[in-house]
Amino acid sequence: MKVSYFETARYRAPRQLPAQWPVPPAAYDRDAGTQSYHGMVERMQFVEKLGFDWISVSEHHYSPQRLTPNPVVSAAYLAGYAQNIKIAVLGPIVSQSNPVQVAEELAMLDNMLPGRLVVGMLRGITGEYLTYGLNPAEARERTSEAMELVLKAWTEPQPFGWQGRHFRFRTVAVWPRPRQQPHPPTYALGTSRESCEFAARHHLGLGVSYAPFGVIAKATRFYRDACAQCGWQPAPEHVIYRANILIGETDAEAEALLDEQRRARQAFPLRAQVRDALLELDIRNVAGEARTPNVGGVLPTNFVGSPDTIVEQIKCCREQSGVGVIDLMFQIPGSADLGFLMRSLELFGTKVLPRIRDV
């Protein structure tokens, strides 16, 4: 099993913030912002030393919860400090981006690293439809087209035009190209049938997130079947699982913390009327079975307990869903105590990591 540390810049607000997304920018504290980016580097260097394989970043907007509206920009900063760790951009929200620009940025980044970039391409969580005014009804189709265009922009040797449904370019000729040829390890992110089929067709990996093992197992099974139909078999590291983790010295400690975590604030809470309207409009599925989107809700904590318990949970996860990379969001319940985060990372790095390498 490979392990990735999910870094969100951990902005620590000096005072109580309005809960609702989008958060008014007037509440932004510049010193806290600066500290949060510096902390990002410290934590990356820490997990690098502990032996984590990747550090991952994600794209979120208009919120102190994830201070990385362009994850490639944060990753380029991290690249300036990284030694050996891979940087996983999971991922640019391609549905609302200019796919050619995404291809350019990621290619630059892969050259800066050099060659240690991992890419995931994302449709985006429901709330992000509001960021740049994306029509929820078009989100899926735009994602598929954009992913195809990004891959084409990385691999086509001659300048070309793109006559798409949602994107049109007469001239695409991306310089630089990625350092890794033909392109960096790339994942389609999401549990949906479309995401699995796209990944299978293009020989890409699949990234799933947060749902319980049983749910993600449906998607990974569907993905492996689709790969078989396309005549290939994915390796375990072709499947990433982004999950919440709460690690304590003992199970009792972790369980107690989990209670606190359950009372925690949602990451991107929306005004009720907007949430309800989005719930109606956002059509999602797991391997073809309809599922309700998570709009502004709390996400489950997937791994909880002492190091021993977590090792068992990770084994169980591997057996049930076959994932080869876990991308971990470390919880710090009840406070913004970064000391707790560092202790959790160390505990994981010393007591769990060595025991799951052969899982």
Partner 1 sequence: MRVLQKGLIVTQAGDAFREGHVDADGFRIRYMEAGQGPPFVHLHGAGGLRLTRGHDLLSRQFRVIAFEMPGFGASPENDRSRDMPELAATMATATDALGLDQFNLMGTSFGGKTALWLALLQPDRVQALVLEAPAAIRPHGSRPPAGSPEEMARRLFAHPERLAPMPLPDPAVQARQARLTARLRGPDRDADLEGRLPGLVVPTLVLFGTVDRVIPPEMGHFYKELMPNCHLVFVYDAGHAISTDRPEAFVEVVADFIERREAFVISRTDTVIHP
Partner 2 sequence: MQVSYFETARYRVPPAIPAEWPVPPGAYDPETGAEAYQGMVDRVQFVEELGFDWVSLSEHHYSPRILTPNIAVSGSYIAARSKRIKIAVLGPIVSQSNPVQVAEEMAMLDTLSNGRLVFGMLRGTTNEYLTFDLNPAEARERTTEGMELILKAWTEPQPFGWQGRHYQFRTVSVWPRPLQQPLPPTYSLGTSRESCEFAARHHIGLGVSFAPFEVVAKSTRYYREQCRHYGWEPAAEQMIYRANILLADTDEEAHELLEQQRRGAAPFPMRAGVREALLKLDQRNVAGEARSPNVGGVLPTSFYGGPDTVVAQIRRCRDEVGVGVLDLAFQNPGAPDTGRLMRSLELFAEKVLPRIREV
Applying CB under 8 A, the residues found at the interface with partner 1 are 145, 148-149, 152, 156-165, 167, 170-171
* Region from 50-58, 173-181, 198-206, 298-306 binding partner 2, contact rule CB under 8 A: 173-181
Q: CA-CA distance, 64 to 62, in Å (whole number)?
A: 7
Among positions 159, 300, 334, 354, the unique one binding partner 2 when judged by CB under 8 A: 159
**Tell me, what DSSP letter sits at residue 65?**
S
Among positions 15, 83, 84, 157, the unique one binding partner 2 when judged by CB under 8 A: 157
Q: CA-CA distance, 254 to 303, in Å (whole number)?
A: 10
Q: Are 219 and 213 in contact (CB under 8 A)?
A: no
Two tokens at 208? 């799933």
Q: CA-CA distance, 233 to 93, in Å (whole number)?
A: 27
As beta bridge partners, residue 119 has 89, 186
Q: Are 63 and 22 in contact (CB under 8 A)?
A: yes
Tokens 């169980």 belong to which residue? 316
Minimal distance, residue 133 CB to partner 2, in Å = 6
Half-sphere exposure for 303 (CA within 13 Å, toward CB): 30
Q: Of 125, 138, 145, 124, which is closest to residue 198 (Cα–Cα)?
A: 145
* Region from 21-29, 280-288, 318-326, 338-346 binding partner 2, contact rule CB under 8 A: 21-29
Q: Of 258, 269, 264, 317, which is closest to residue 296 (Cα–Cα)?
A: 269
Q: Are 10 and 331 in contact (CB under 8 A)?
A: no
**Tell me, what DSSP letter sits at residue 190?**
S
Among positions 14, 15, 84, 170, the unique one binding partner 2 when judged by CB under 8 A: 170
Minimum CB distance to partner 1 smaller for 86 or for 123: 123
Contact of residue 133 among partner 1, partner 2, none (CB under 5-8 Å per partner type): partner 2
Minimum CB distance to partner 2 smaller for 23 or for 258: 23
Contact of residue 163 among partner 2, partner 1, none (CB under 5-8 Å per partner type): partner 1
Minimum CB distance to partner 2 smaller for 25 or for 214: 25
Two tokens at 272? 């009720």
Does 81 bind partner 2 (CB under 8 A)? Our answer is: yes
Minimal distance, residue 204 CB to partner 1, in Å = 16
* Region from 73-81, 208-216, 236-244, 341-349 binding partner 2, contact rule CB under 8 A: 73-81
Minimum CB distance to partner 2 smaller for 158 or for 292: 158
Residues contributing to the site for partner 2 (CB under 8 A): 11, 22-26, 28, 30, 33-34, 37, 41, 61-64, 67-70, 72-74, 76-81, 98, 100-101, 104-105, 108-109, 111-112, 114-115, 130-133, 156-159, 168-181
